[in-house]
A and B are shown apart, each in its own frame.
Chain A
Amino acid sequence: MKLRIGIPRSLAYFVFFPFWKTFFRSLDMEVVISPATSKGVLDSGVKEAVADACVPIKLFHGHVLELKEQVDYIFLPRLVSINKEDTVTFCPKFLGLPDLIRATLPNLPPLIDEKVDLQKGPWEIYRLCVRIGRVLGKSPWASLLACRKGRAAQQQYEKIIWQLKVTPAEALQMVEKYQVLPPAAEEEYQLSFAVLGFPYTINDRFISVDMVKKLRQLGVRVLTAEMVPRQNLLAQARKLPKNLFWHFSNQVMRAAMYFMDEKVDGIIHVTAFGCGPDAMVNKMIELEAKARGKIPFMNITIDEHTGEAGVLTRLEAFVDMLKLRRGMI
């Protein structure tokens, strides 16, 4: 029987799933993803995690629990860096994630918790794959080949996102179904919003109370950080005095500046309750928008109890305000 590798449908899943799915499949493993977030998943995570953790980390506990009985290994790499940028790493909770999960959730299947530290150089990704392959009893050669296939799949995925301007969640669906779905027609939208936040909040339909869909129904084109080509984000980085230390927050901050340059109609920053970096980044975006004059900005914080109705009301009010201002209604 094939070995089953469990991947929690949360946190970095939205960033690198195509790579690892292809990698493990090429090594002849079965990939099992935890089900989409539901109230049950969230509740079980909240019950186990420390009370002071942020919502995404609590939710992650829930996803790991879903996989517990079903798989031979849980894939939970320690993310340290995924590009060459100096002093950029991940939030401390990512750095300690495997330890944290191990300490709070007893009796798990073994974790594959290799360190992902791509800052070390262009070969590190191959070395990493060989290390993981070894854990699973595969030859270095097989791992290298699998790694190459993984990279191709990942590139495809990223290209789908910024060429078709779809969200990672949508691109992942296409990847899963092996088919490209055309995006909605341009003229349906009257406004364009940048919806910025962590990939694991915005693309999780449950935890984000399906905000993206709601906005589209209100006639808003949704733009996310992933849709901005990498070099444009890097160009924004040069305008900031100091890189933020957290990869995802950097993406958010840079995308915010990029979209301000592009003169989008509004910016919505989706923050996670209890998130350390967000508290700072939110203030910085707010002040930047203010300093540049009238760029409408709204912050929506997501927590365990975020109600759909409340968010919808706020979105509607924001959209109406802008439409009024533009004389659209």
Chain B
Amino acid sequence: MRITFPHMGNLAVALESIFSSLGAQVVAPPLNKETIALGSRYAPEGACFPFKLVLGNYLQALEEGTDTLIMLGGNGPCRFGYFGNLAGVILQDLGYEFRMVILEGDNFLSQIASLGEELGAGWRDILRVVRLGWYKLAALDQWEALVNQKRAVAGSRVDALYLKGVTLLGQALNINDINEGLNYIQNEINNCLDSSTLKQTPRIAIVGDIYMQVEPFANHNLARLLGERGFAVYRSIYVSSWVKHNFWPPAKKREAQRLLKDAKPYLCSMVGGHGLDTVANTVNYQRQGFHGVIQILPMTCMPEIVAQSLLPKVSRDLDIPILSLVLDEHSAQEGLITRIEAFTDVVRHRYNMSRSEIVGSYDFGK
């Protein structure tokens, strides 16, 4: 069995670990210019950027002789839940032969199990490798979050450490190895700075569509661009937090209630995808004293367009700068940087003003 799955941030590492330990051959082509070219050639023009990347990736993998395509499902009303089905008919029409396995929330384990069975792995093995994959994913996401927060003060050293961590994880055979790696890298990253400097960095949060957030190739490495310009970056979603909130019913319910509460009165309903999350998290970040919020969304993304229409009001009411970045396959990095810098100038200016006010009042008292 030669297997592939769409590239989506750190998810690829976890899935690769799961399937290769089950004994499948994993074909995981990288995301690059060719992916974009292939994807946009065969996808409908109005499909969103993530779909084009997924389709492009499948085409690359099929050329390398893949026979099994894995995709996640979903219950909409975001188009993501139909990606697998649409990609399937498009690829069939192009004459490829393959099997498409769509992992829906409720049949996730049984699907993996039947794949495992084909590969001659038993339930035990499957549970073991899924657990291992999950730990790897969680570790990577933790590092990424840390790196995003500290890059502004510690510079590119943290990126090097992150890469080192990825290599460590590649070699990890059990959960102990992962935990050791986790501690080691976390300590190293924390050693790169003293925490007092961190407090003086303005903070920007990234919200928006999940794919655009977690895949640096799709967002032109937004977190790094911001870090290099001196901002501590927080992201509202990581693949592991999404998995937790989606596959674990109690967590799912709790999260849904939290979102509805925070998004009120701006948005009073789930709208699919992460539209509600975007509004709720923006409000939440403002409460936590963040200095700016960037929403990132692919063109024609319906849930995020709903959020995008509401954010100007949130920004006005709560007095926080918000930038909506709409990206697609034609977006160039230069244009993106210009827009980001215009925004970060505002954020930095406001940040400096607010600090001088505080410092001023203290001095005055003494």
Contact = CB atoms under 8 A, between A and B. Distances in A.
Interface stretch (A14-22, A154-162, A254-262, A269-277): A269-277
Contacts of A291: 93
B47 A279 contact: yes
Contacts of B267: 96, 99
Nearest to B317: A103
A242 B77 contact: no
Contact-residue bracket for chain A = 35 or more
A176 interface: no
A80 B269 contact: yes
Contacts of A93: 271, 302, 305-306
A287 B305 contact: no
Interface in A293-307: none
Contacts of A52: 299-300, 305, 308, 326
Contacts, number: 118
B305 A50 contact: yes
Contacts of A87: 75-76
Interface string B152-176: 0000000000000000000000000
A87 B43 CA distance: 25
Contacts of A244: 76, 82
A280 B309 contact: no
B85 A242 contact: yes
A194 B304 CA distance: 33
Given A89-B77, A96-B310, 16 more contacts: A52-B326, A80-B269, A90-B77, A91-B302, A92-B273, A92-B303, A93-B302, A95-B77, A99-B310, A100-B310, A274-B46, A276-B301, A280-B79, A282-B46, A283-B44, A287-B89
9 contacts: A78-B268, A89-B272, A91-B77, A99-B269, A245-B76, A277-B302, A279-B44, A287-B89, A287-B90
Contact of A284 (B86, B300, B313): B86
B1 to A, nearest CB: 22
Contacts of A280: 44, 47, 79, 82, 86
B198 interface: no
A53 interface: yes
Interface string B248-269: 0000000000000000001111
B270 interface: yes
A91 B303 CA distance: 9
Contact of B82 (A90, A92, A245): A245
B81 interface: yes
A95 B299 contact: no
A87 B267 CA distance: 21
Contacts of A277: 79, 302
A95 B268 CA distance: 9
Given A99-B268, A103-B309, A92 B81 contact: no
B45 interface: yes
B275 interface: yes
A278 interface: yes
Interface in A54-74: none
B75 A245 contact: yes
A163 to B, nearest CB: 32
Q: Which 3 A-B pairs have the closest CB atoms?
A: A245-B76, A279-B46, A96-B306
B259 to A, nearest CB: 13
Contact of A103 (B93, B272, B299, B312): B312
B78 interface: yes
B79 A104 contact: no
B61 interface: no
B48 interface: yes
B93 A245 contact: no
Given A103-B266, A287-B89, A279 B300 contact: yes
Interface string A88-110: 01111101101110011000000
Contact of A276 (B79, B89, B266): B79
A103 B46 contact: no
Contacts of B81: 245
A95 to B, nearest CB: 4
A241 interface: yes
B44 A282 contact: yes
B75 to A, nearest CB: 5
Given A90-B77, A103-B312, A95 B306 contact: yes
Contacts of B43: 283
Given A103-B310, A275-B46, A279-B44, A96 B93 contact: no
Contact of B266 (A49, A99, A278, A284): A99
A246 interface: yes
A115 interface: yes
Nearest to B312: A103
B93 A92 contact: no
